[in-house]
Amino acid sequence: MIFIVLALCALITLYLYGTRNHSYWKKRGVVYENPLPFVGNDLKQILMLRNITDISADLYFKFPNERVVGSYRGSRPVLIVRDPEIIKRILVTDFNYFYPRGLNSHKSVIEPMLRNLFFADGDIWRLLRQRLTPAFSSGKLRAMFPLIAERAELLQTRVLGHASGGGGVVDARDLMARYTTDFIGACGFGLDTDALQDDNSEFRNLGKKIFAFDIKRFFLDVLKECFPNLLKNIKLLAGIERHVIHLLNLVLRQRNYKPSGRNDFIDLLIKCQEQGTIVDDSIEKFKDDGTPETARLEMDVELMAAQMFVFFAAGFETSSSATSFTLNELAHNPRVQARAQEEVDRVLAKYDNKLTYDAVKEMTYLEWTLKEGMRVFPSLGFLIRECARKYTFKELGFSVDEGVRIIIPVQALHNDPQYFDEPAEFRPERFGPDSFSEKNKYVYLPFGAGPRACIGERLGLMQSVAGLAAVLAQCSVSPAPRAPRTPLSHPASGITQNVVGGVPLVFTTRN
């Protein structure tokens, strides 16, 4: 009998622990999805049936009359924000309350490769942003464009090789990933990665390794989220860390640890190191009188490797996703494709059939087409923030505490008919100067917004438009037989949306 009582007490204790925060939204009068013990609302994600993008979109459309919706990741409260005005406040107006992304489950022990501009929070993020911003100025973009043009020509060669003989089925996702990998290798690190020509390119394999689905890594990530203190020293990126640091040391030795004059990303990191300690006011720590303390950061090799990792990973994954999905939409919308090709032909003829910086800037309709592709299927299906200290939503009549996560469901916002008329239709004209509404500024968020918006937005747009122009100048695309109309987002996708089975298309040489 005593064993039954003890077992019952243990089960009750376990249940209470697994539901300890599940009354959080009820107490605040926020509409929420009923959670399960321990897993909260994440059971479908844990079972790899739905990813975070899809789960947040489901909740977004389930409660159409709410400005915010409550949810739980395990026992942790998550607030899904549906209202553009509140989104603006989180990303911009009251940014100091929501500067963390909160992607590191244990704040005091951060995995080395995650101490980068995207994943880092607080003072590390701010000091890195301060030093790295100059790498993406207009002058730097123009100076590196010849490297983009070279890779675009290689892209054309590979596409034409596939298209010879009347047309061939090609995975556009893989094709554009090779192009962006080569671009980042050249512009970022001064290396010829040869991903467009070499099927066993080291850089291409690294990209696959970073974003390949790994069931062990998936479950470790879930466990670290549930038990951050217990598993704080486990590294999810240990193998990739060794690879990136080895590659960085190789490039540094080639340059004798000095800037090479290429003005690429590695040169910038070397210059950051030469400039010494990065110093600025803290956004995390304050003195008794309310003034900020001084924050400092040393740019050592490990920190340089972390920036190299995110520049490579974020650059090739998001751009290849955006361009391949845009090509898929063009394949199913031949009239849009014909208009985009007409613009490419006309602009290139003006520039002696050469892809130049100014030529790409003039391809406005093609840029609208890319932006419409990112509306339908944004590379980042959601934005995430974490409350840094207690914050009150006055118009909603409740407060959230430090540590509460905020999800902005980008995929859902981009496909909501109240913001984009007939969202299932592919209409690049939405982004013309006379059509795009200012009210949609905090609804259309493929690059985020505010101080933590993507630092490489202009670079990403430029290389993506150049890649699309290179393809469309020589080839037309059409749907592949038996391929799905819309690529299926992988249920195990994380921050970036991977697709199941790639994006197969038929490439045909133009007359």
Query: In 10 A of CB 207, how many CB atoms?
Result: 24
> From start to end of 312-401, where are the E strands?
383-386, 391-393, 398-400
Q: Which residues contact 212 (CB under 8 A, 6 or more apart)?
A: none
Is the separation of the CB atoms in 69 and 31 below 8 Å? Answer: yes
Per-residue pLDDT, 91: 97
**Sheet with 504-509, edge to edge strand ranges:** 168-171, 504-509, 475-479
Beta strands 76-81 and 405-408, pairing class: parallel
Minimum mean pLDDT range among 78-87, 100-109, 212-221, 354-363: 212-221
Per-residue pLDDT, 166: 57
Rounded Cα–Cα distance for residues 168 and 155 (Å): 15
Q: Which helix (H) or strand (E) holds 88?
A: helix 84-88
Instruction: Check whether 176 has a pLDDT greater than 70.
Output: yes
Per-residue pLDDT, 233: 62
Burial of 311 (0-12, 13-18, 19+ CB in 10 A): buried
Confidence of residue 343 (pLDDT cuts 50, 70, 90): very high
Per-residue pLDDT, 201: 63
Q: Could you tell me which residues are annotated as the binding site for heme? A: 454
Q: Could you tell me which residues are annotated as the binding site? A: 454
Residue type, position 310, single letter: V
Closest CA to 268 of 189, 192, 180, 191: 189
Rounded Cα–Cα distance for residues 31 and 440 (Å): 25
pLDDT digits (tens, 9 = 90+) for 3-12: 777 777 777 6
Confidence of residue 228 (pLDDT cuts 50, 70, 90): low
Residue % of the chain over a pLDDT of 90:
47
Per-residue pLDDT, 107: 63
Query: In 10 A of CB 501, how many CB atoms?
Result: 12
Minimum mean pLDDT range among 62-76, 110-124, 226-240, 451-465: 226-240
Per-residue pLDDT, 164: 65
pLDDT digits (tens, 9 = 90+) for 471-498: 999 999 999 998 899 888 888 887 888 8
Query: In 10 A of CB 136, how many CB atoms?
Result: 17
Report the Cα–Cα distance between both ends of the chain, in Å, rounded.
86
What average pLDDT does the segment 95-106 reach? Answer: 86
Q: What is the mean pLDDT of the chain?
A: 87
Per-residue pLDDT, 223: 65
Closest CA to 174 of 148, 155, 188, 151: 155
Rounded Cα–Cα distance for residues 353 and 18 (Å): 64
Per-residue pLDDT, 70: 97
Minimum mean pLDDT range among 222-231, 255-264, 421-430: 222-231
Per-residue pLDDT, 207: 62
Residue 444 main-chain phi, psi, to 5 deg = -90, 105
Q: What tokens were used for 209?
A: 């390794």
Instruction: Check whether 165 has a pLDDT greater than 60.
Output: no
Per-residue pLDDT, 103: 82
Q: Which domains does the chain have, with CATH numbers?
A: 115-380+415-509 (1.10.630.10)
Q: What is the length of the chain?
A: 511
Is the separation of the CB atoms in 415 and 54 below 8 Å? Answer: no
Q: What tokens were used for 319?
A: 């751009």
pLDDT digits (tens, 9 = 90+) for 406-438: 999 999 999 999 999 999 999 999 999 888 776
CA angle 506, 176, 367 (to 5 degrees): 95
Minimum mean pLDDT range among 120-124, 201-205, 507-511: 201-205
Rounded Cα–Cα distance for residues 303 and 128 (Å): 10
Name the pTM for this structure. 0.90
What average pLDDT does the segment 64-80 reach? Answer: 95
What average pLDDT does the segment 384-413 reach? Answer: 96
Rounded Cα–Cα distance for residues 220 and 225 (Å): 8
Closest CA to 425 of 375, 484, 364: 375
| Residue 313 CA, distance from chain mean position | 9
pLDDT digits (tens, 9 = 90+) for 299-342: 898 899 898 888 877 777 788 899 999 999 999 999 999 999 99
Rounded Cα–Cα distance for residues 407 and 399 (Å): 16
Q: Which helix (H) or strand (E) holds 245?
A: helix 238-254
Is the separation of the CB atoms in 270 and 255 below 8 Å? Answer: yes
Instruction: Check whether 96 has a pLDDT greater than 90.
Output: yes
Q: What tokens were used for 176?
A: 């554009």
Minimum mean pLDDT range among 22-26, 60-64, 413-417, 438-442: 438-442
